[in-house]
Amino acid sequence: MAGVAQAGSEEGCAVKDRLLEDFFKENGHELSGLQLEKMATFLHNIEIFGTSLGLIEARGQQLIVDHLLDSMAPVRILEEISLASLCDVGSGAGFPGIVLAIALPNLPIVLAERMQKRSRFLAMMQQKLQLDNVEVYHGDIKHIDRHFDGMTFRALEQMTCDLAKLLLSKSDRLFAYKGRAVSVQAEVAQLARCGYRCEVEPLAIVGQEKERHLLMIRKT
């Protein structure tokens, strides 16, 4: 496990690749060698640029479990829905957008991020990882003039009726990465009062003790 934190050398990356594969397998994700390599390179770049760009502080196992595996947790749900397009709103350092783009290479994904330094990092990752299915949109989601099958967001802000209305004018479905059941239920109650249809799925991540849920929202 110690090797996970090593990111600097070629050898460190090789150790990291092997361990990453174990983390994914433990969580039921079968990734190809190329996908694992892209995940490892992405983590490596987060570890290099994360602090200086104000992206993310987590390192090593915490970065893998709390961010990478967390981003991967709803991948089967998204696959089963067979989306033709996805927008990840407020992608930040690329969680979950870059991770989903690596895991689902046939799904076109727009990463929407209004902070310039973060959107530049996302564009750099798109190029470096050769993610042909990714497009970076630098700007506020309010101004995007496109329609998507689905939108994901993680750690964006609390889901309110106004936010759901705005996002559902640009997407058929919303997928919000959320924490504790009790707070998700409060959001669901509020959204139901405004006429939105919600479903909540618990997300299990091996090694993650915090409660995680996927809140799915549609118009009724």
Ligand X SMILES: C[S@@+](CC[C@H](N)C(=O)[O-])C[C@H]1O[C@@H](n2cnc3c(N)ncnc32)[C@H](O)[C@@H]1O
Site of interaction with ligand X (CB under 6 A): 89-93, 95, 112-115, 118, 140-141, 154-156
Distance (Å, rounded) from C-alpha 17 to C-alpha 40?
Answer: 6
Q: Closest approach of Cβ 42 to ligand X, in Å?
A: 13
Query: 134 vs 156, which CB is nearer to ligand X?
Result: 156
* Tally of residues, the chain: 220
Distance (Å, rounded) from C-alpha 50 to C-alpha 94?
Answer: 11
Give, as one character, the DSSP assignment of residue 201.
E
Q: Closest approach of Cβ 62 to ligand X, in Å?
A: 13
Alpha-carbon torsion (168, 93, 77, 79), positive or negative: positive
Is residue 95 marked as binding?
Answer: yes
Q: Closest approach of Cβ 44 to ligand X, in Å?
A: 17
Distance (Å, rounded) from C-alpha 16 to C-alpha 79?
Answer: 27
Please say whether the beta carbons of 175 and 107 come within 8 A. Answer: no
Q: Which parts are annotated binding residues?
A: 90, 95, 154
Q: Which parts are annotated binding residues for S-adenosyl-L-methionine?
A: 90, 95, 154
